Chain A
Amino acid sequence: MEIEIKNENVSNSVLEGDGIYFSYDNGYDVFENINIRADTGKFVAIIGPSGIGKSTLLRILGGFLKPDKGIVKVMGKILHEPIPEVALIHQSIVTFPWMDAQENVMLSMKTKDISRDEMEAKAKESLSRVGLDGFEDLYPKEMSGGMRQRVAIARAFAADPYVFLMDEPFAHLDELTAEGLRQDIYNILFSGETPLKSVIMVSHNLTEVLELADEIYILNNIPATVVGKVEVTMPRPRNPRSDNFNANLDMLYSYLTPPRKKK
């Protein structure tokens, strides 16, 4: 693990991006002074107009890209590269077709110094956690899109991460499947039976964001900055047809209009 030991983490913060600046190689300024924080027990969402760099920000927060300025901290320690404690779940459903569900999940434990029996037990436990008990032997081609995404989530769980970074995790699922997974996901993530402490999700589906998130960061402008942070206090489960839900949707859209401008 390549993380620099600093002072012990005295706050609730699980993952923090502090003063993030990032530009493409050709000089296009993508982010300017982005500050984002995910605390223990919080489901954090990041939204913004198409092309603003939401997925890029997630990659920076996961240590897959280095910011030009600013730092990312995980549990108070500076992140220099990807670590198992931060798991990235992609928008495209990544399962390997020549491996069954259990082998797909065991992939995330290959670098750990544990026996195959332990890996199999852990994989079964992770699959059970996401509702795939009894489906360990199925290959991806035998599964629905929703099941494959559950396998991807189980694989992330098996690495015992502190934080999930989810990049449009329901984007490639049909609406019925996505709705079913959304209904389960919050309870699965925060069951308290794993080391997982926090989730950061990027999404362009505001209804999905409001169903799941405790806190929402809104990106806008060029270069992108955080133009607002909304705390969602609606009780769960949340009803997308309620007046309160619509009032929250209205508020999110108010941050996204007028059109983004160059600062």
Chain B
Amino acid sequence: MDVIDPDARIADLLGLLYVLNNIFDGKTDLYRLEKEMEVDLDDLMPIVYTASNLGLVNAESGDISISQKGIEYIKSGMNQRKQIIRESLKNIEPFKTALSMGSFSLDDIIDRLKENDVPTFNNPDGSHDLEVILIEWGIYSRLLKKTDDGFEVIS
């Protein structure tokens, strides 16, 4: 089950890909990336996991490399970047579930994610985390729009 990490910020994605591509020629050890970015585990891994789930990097055995899609992302303009994120989100949670619902309230999608056996948001902070992800990733990429009582998938 691939999911957007609740602690992954979209602003960090570009930074990760730029550093990986421009400083490390696209591939390095995660510990070197940590030192270069002057971050620690809690800052680095959420965006690494999320970038991996989006298909923008490959992370395996302590190594990380930028994918062809990741290179395309950093070379693109704003609209193209949003499209890449939009298409990538469709295959990972919570957006896979969101697409199947069309329009939904926060409570509705939390229930559906539970039914779909997605545990990430089933914790005391889960509702807040989910709302932030839907807004930050979904609305940014124009996959979702906000409605009076929740969210709606943009067709």
**A260–B49 touching, CB < 8 Å:** yes
Number of interface residues of B (CB under 8 A): 33
Report how far A193 CA is from B91 CA in the complex, Å: 58
**A258–B41 touching, CB < 8 Å:** no
Chain A residues whose CB sits within 8 angstroms of the CB of B60 once the complex forms: 257-258
Give A222-263 interface residues, CB cut-off 8 Å to B.
Answer: 222-223, 246, 249-254, 256-262
With contacts A27-B122, A49-B49, A50-B46 known, is A258 near B7, CB below 8 A? no
Binding site for B on A (CB under 8 A): 24, 26-29, 47, 49-51, 204-206, 222-223, 246, 249-254, 256-262
Say if the beta carbon of B99 comes within 8 Å of chain A.
no
For the residues of B in contact with A, the DSSP-based class is: mixed
Report how far A223 CA is from B117 CA in the complex, Å: 12
With contacts A28-B123, A262-B1 known, is A204 near B48, CB below 8 A? no
With contacts A206-B31, A261-B1, A262-B1 known, is A222 near B119, CB below 8 A? yes
Report how far A262 CA is from B40 CA in the complex, Å: 24
Chain A residues whose CB sits within 8 angstroms of the CB of B59 once the complex forms: 257-259
Min CB distance A155 to B, Å, is: 27
**B7–A256 touching, CB < 8 Å:** no
Min CB distance B37 to A, Å, is: 13
Q: Which residue of A lies closest to B59 (CB)?
A: A257
**B119–A29 touching, CB < 8 Å:** yes
A-B contact pairs, 14 of them (CB 8 A): A50-B7, A50-B45, A50-B46, A204-B40, A206-B31, A206-B34, A206-B40, A222-B120, A249-B31, A249-B34, A251-B62, A257-B64, A259-B52, A262-B119
Name the contact of A49 in the complex, choosing from B32, B41, B122 (C-beta under 8 A): B41
Report how far A206 CA is from B126 CA in the complex, Å: 27
Chain B residues whose CB sits within 8 angstroms of the CB of A257 once the complex forms: 30, 48, 52, 59-64
Give B37-55 interface residues, CB cut-off 8 Å to A.
Answer: 40-42, 45-46, 48-49, 52-53
Give B52-86 interface residues, CB cut-off 8 Å to A.
Answer: 52-53, 59-64
Min CB distance B11 to A, Å, is: 17
Q: Which 6 pairs of residues, A with B, have the shortest CB-CB distance?
A: A254-B62, A249-B31, A253-B62, A259-B49, A204-B42, A253-B30
A-B pairs with CB below 8 Å: how many? 87
**A47–B53 touching, CB < 8 Å:** no
**A50–B53 touching, CB < 8 Å:** no
Chain B residues whose CB sits within 8 angstroms of the CB of A27 once the complex forms: 122
With contacts A24-B123, A206-B40, A257-B48 known, is A262 near B30, CB below 8 A? no
Report how far A29 CA is from B123 CA in the complex, Å: 9
**A250–B7 touching, CB < 8 Å:** no
**A50–B42 touching, CB < 8 Å:** yes
Chain A residues whose CB sits within 8 angstroms of the CB of B26 once the complex forms: none
Name the contact of B41 in the complex, choosing from A28, A204, A259, A262 (C-beta under 8 A): A204
Q: Which residue of B lies closest to A245 (CB)?
A: B31
- Additional pairs, 17, CB under 8 Å, beyond known A27-B122, A253-B30, A257-B52: A24-B122, A24-B123, A26-B124, A49-B42, A50-B7, A51-B7, A204-B40, A204-B41, A206-B41, A246-B32, A249-B34, A252-B31, A253-B34, A256-B30, A257-B59, A257-B61, A259-B5
